[in-house]
Chains A and B, each alone.
Chain A
Amino acid sequence: MFGLNKRDAGLLLVVAGLALFAPFLLNPFPTDSAMAQFNAGYPDLMQRFVIFGVFAVGFNLLFGLTGYLSFGHAAFLGIGSYSAVWMFKLLGYNILPGMILSVVVSAVFALMIGYISLRRSGIYFSILTLAFAQMLFAIAYSDLIGRFFGTPITNGETGLQVYTSDPQFFHSENLPDIPHIFGQKMQSTYTLDVGAWSFDFNFGYYFCALILIAAFYLAIRIFRSPFGLMLRAVKSNQQRMNYTGLNTRPYTLAVFVISGMYAGLAGGLMASMDPLAGAERMQWTASGEVVLMTILGGAGTLIGPILGAGFIKYFENIFAKINDNVLHSWFSFMPDGLENLMVALVHPFVGKGWHLTLGLLFMLVVIFLPGGLVEGGQRIAQRLRGKKAAEKATDTSKTPAE
C-alpha cells in the first residue's frame, strides 16, 4: 500500500487510526464521573499531541537516523511560528500561505545553520546547534532585527500577534477573524453527546492530524529509502563512509534541512491553532523537550517519537491536575496514618512536580531502555510470546532495526 511493505503499512494505519479516533480514545470516561479529569480529548490538548508529534517525527529523522544530537531544534519551531503569524498579518487569516512560508523560512535557516554546524560532529555539533538556537532566541526575545530596522519583527517579549491595523490584503468581510482555511474556522468544534459521554470533533485538530499522517508517511518513506540507508551508515560509521570516498555532508545536510522543515511545519501549525508567536518557544528548554520526547518514545524507531510526544504531553496535563485531595481519595482505603504517609510520599512527584517525574523517567529510560517505550513494548511482547518466539524475534532484529 502506497509503496510500503506490510509492516510499515500496518504502522501507518495504526498512527492514522490513533489520530483519527483520538476524540473517542482520549475521552474514555463519562463527563460527570470522577475520572473525567483524566480525559484528554479536548481540542487544545489534542492539537498539541499531533503538533508535537510532527515536531518529534522530524527530530527523529535527524537524530534517529544519523545520530547527530541537535540541541537547538526549537529554533525552527519558533521561526515557523513567526513566519506564519507574519503571513496572517500581511495576507489574512487563511493559514495556507502561513504554513508554506513557515516551512520555506525554516528550511532556509536550517540550511544555513546546518551548513555550519555539520562541519563538526558529536558534542561539538550539539553545542553549535545549541549556540545557534540560543542566539536566535536572544535575537527574537529582544527583537534585535526589529530594533535595527526600527520596526518590530518578532515584537520582543510581548510576542508577535495580529492587530486590526495590519494590512491583511486578502481579508474580506465574509471571512472569519480567526485562523481558517478558505472560510472553515480552525476553532469550530462539533460536540457529539452519546449517553454520559461527550466527544469533541475539532476542525483544527483534524487538519493537524491529517498533516501528522502525511508527515509520518513521508518519514516512513525516508526511513526505507536508499537515502535513509545512507544516513544510517553515517550513524554506524561515518569514518568508513569517508574512507570509501563518499562525501557524507550533503546527506546529513539534506536530512538536517528536512528535519528543520518538519519543525517549521509544527511551528506553523502551532501559530495556526493560536495566532501568537513568542520567543519562549525557541528557548533551549523547548529543544530539550523534543529530545526527551524522541528518546522516551524510542529514537530511531518510526512510531517512537509520536508515542513519546503523546506520552509527555498527556502526563504533563494529567499530572498537573493531581492535587492532594485527589491523592487522599486514592489512598482513602488505607488506615489514616498510612494514607497520609502515602500522600506525602507521592506528593512531590505530581502536580507541580511533574518535571521531577519526567526527569526521573527520562533517566531510567536512558539507563535501562535505550530504545525507549518501543523497546519496552517489544521486550514485554517477547516475554509474553515465550522463549521460542523470542528467539525468532532476535533473529529478525538482526536485520537493520527500524
Chain B
Amino acid sequence: MDAIILQFLNGLDKGSAYALIALGLTLIFGTLGVVNFAHGALFMIGAFCSVTVQRILTLSSESLSATEKDFLGNPLKIKTPYVENWFGPEVGAALIDWSVPLAIVFAIPVMLLVGFIMERGLIKHFYKRPHADQILVTFGLAIVLQEVIKYFYGANPLPTPAPSVFVGSFDFGPLLGLDTSLAYPYWRLVYFAFSAAIIGAVFAFLQFTTFGMVVRAGMADRETVGLLGIDIDRRFTIMFGIAAAVAGLAGVMYAPINSPNYHMGMDFLVLSFVVVVVGGMGSLPGAVLAGFMLGILESLASMNEIKNILPGIDQIIIYVVAIIILLTRPRGLMGRKGVMEE
C-alpha cells in the first residue's frame, strides 16, 4: 500500500511537468492552430534560466589571502561572489542558495520575450501553411535552440541545487497513519504546488479576466471576434508568450529535480505530445488531466511488483495507453468536436 502511495506521489511531479508543457502546447494549438515542436526546447531554455541565474549570482572576485598559503607556498586565492561583497556575506549566501526560485523572476521576461520573437519572427508566417510544414519548421527550430544551448553550456548535465531549506524529505508515513516511513523530497512537493498554482493561474486568467474572455472567444470563433473590431492577432501573440512562459517556468523549477542538459527538451517533447493527444487536441483541462494521469501511470508501472510480471512495462505504458485511447476515443479524453478531425 505504502509503495503505491509513494509511486503515486512520484508520479505527481513528473505529471506536473507533463501537464505544464502540455498546457502550453494546447494553448498555442487552441489559439493559433499551430503544432509547436519547439515547445520542449522552451522547457529546456527555462531550465537553463536557472543555471544562468545561478552562474550570475556566483560570479566571483578573486583576492589573495594575507595569511593562508596554498601547497606551493603562494598566497591562497580566495573567491568571493560579488553578491557577498555587495550585500554582505549572509544575504549574499542566501541569494545564491535561493538562486532557483529567484530564477523565476528572471525567466518570466526572458520566456515572454522568446515567445514573442518566435511568434512574430517565425510562426506568424506559418498560419496558412499545412500542419506538416508547421511541424517541420518548429522541429528545425527545436534543433537550433538545442544546439545553441549546447554551444554555450556544453553537453554535460549541470547540477542546479534547490535551496538548502528544501533539501531532505518529508515523511508522509505518520501523516497517513502508516507504520512505515514514506519519505518524499521537499522540493518535489514544492514543484507540485508550484505547478498547481501555475495551472490554476492560467485557468483563472482565461476565465476571469476580460483579456481571457476575448482569447476564449477568439479560440471559438476567430473571425467573428476580429469583425467585432478586436485585434485578436495581438492577443494570440501574447498568449503564445504566456504559453512559452508556462513551459519555461516548468523548466526553471524542474532544474533541481533533474540536472538540465541540452536534450531534456526533446525528451519531454515526445511525451508531452502524447499527453496532448490523449487529453484531446485543443482541450486545456484535458491536457492537465492527461498529464497527471500519464505521469502517475508511468510511475505506478515502475513498481517492482508490476515489473516482475511484465518487465519494462514502465517504459512503454504511456505509448500503449496513448494508442489505445486514440483508437477507442479518437478525440482524446476531453477533446472538443471538430478540432483537428481530419
Contact = CB atoms under 8 A, between A and B. Distances in A.
Contact of A360 (B133, B144, B146, B266): B144
A100 interface: no
A367 B147 contact: no
Interface stretch (B53-61, B82-90, B104-112, B315-323): B315-323
B22 interface: no
Contact of A147 (B131, B151, B311, B320): B311
Nearest to A360: B144
Contact of A131 (B140, B148, B322): B322
Given A123-B35, A366-B133, A356 B319 contact: no
A132 B319 contact: yes
B147 A359 contact: yes
A147 B140 contact: no
Given A135-B320, A359-B144, A69 B132 contact: yes
Interface string A54-86: 000000000000010100000000000000000
Contacts of A295: 136
A111 B277 CA distance: 23
Contact of B327 (A119, A359, A363): A119
Nearest to B132: A69
B133 A370 contact: yes
B132 A359 contact: no
A116 B281 contact: no
Nearest to A148: B311
Interface string B244-273: 000000000000000000000010001001
A401 B323 CA distance: 35
Given A124-B277, A355-B143, A116 B135 contact: no
Interface in B101-140: 122, 125, 130-133, 135-137, 139-140
A68 to B, nearest CB: 9
Contact of A358 (B141, B143, B311, B330): B143
Interface SS majority for chain B: helix
Given A122-B340, A138-B312, A132 B323 contact: yes
Interface residues of A, number: 43
Interface stretch (A213-221, A283-291, A314-322, A392-400): A283-291
Interface in A134-175: 134-135, 138-139, 141-142, 144, 147-148
Which of A119, A127, A134 has its CB near the most chain B CB atoms (within 10 A)? A127
Interface string A343-384: 000001000010110111011001100100000000000000
B147 A356 contact: yes
B147 A134 contact: no
A130 interface: yes
B140 A362 contact: yes
Given A69-B135, A116-B323, A356 B144 contact: yes
B221 interface: no
A127 B273 contact: yes
Given A362-B140, A366-B140, A367-B137, A355 B326 contact: no
B179 interface: no
Contacts of A127: 273-274, 277, 322, 326
Contacts of A355: 143, 146-147
B342 interface: yes
Given A123-B35, A239-B342, A285-B266, A362 B133 contact: no
Contact of B151 (A356, A358, A363, A367): A356
Interface string B141-183: 1111011100100000000000000000000000000000000
Contacts of B135: 69, 123, 126
B316 A135 contact: yes
B281 A134 contact: no
Nearest to B35: A123
Interface in A156-214: none
A37 interface: no
Given A119-B327, A291-B136, A362 B143 contact: yes
B316 A288 contact: no
A238 interface: yes
A360 B137 CA distance: 10
A249 interface: no
Contacts of B125: 367
Contact of B316 (A144, A291, A348): A144
A131 B151 CA distance: 30
B311 A131 contact: no
Interface in B226-247: none
Contacts of B327: 116, 119
Q: Which of B140, B323, B327 has the most CB atoms of chain A within a 10 A radius of its CB?
A: B140
Contacts of B330: 119-120, 124
A370 B133 CA distance: 8
Contacts of B137: 363, 366-367
A258 interface: no
A292 B144 CA distance: 13
Given A148-B311, A355-B147, A359-B141, A128 B132 contact: no
B136 A366 contact: yes
B326 A128 contact: yes
Interface of B: 35, 122, 125, 130-133, 135-137, 139-144, 146-148, 151, 266, 270, 273-274, 277, 281, 310-312, 315-316, 319-320, 322-323, 326-327, 330, 340, 342
In the A-B complex, the 3 residue pairs with the closest CB atoms? A359-B143, A356-B147, A363-B140
7 contacts: A124-B277, A130-B274, A138-B316, A291-B136, A356-B144, A356-B151, A362-B143
Interface of A: 67, 69, 116, 119-124, 126-128, 130-132, 134-135, 138-139, 141-142, 144, 147-148, 238-239, 284-285, 288, 291, 295, 348, 353, 355-356, 358-360, 362-363, 366-367, 370
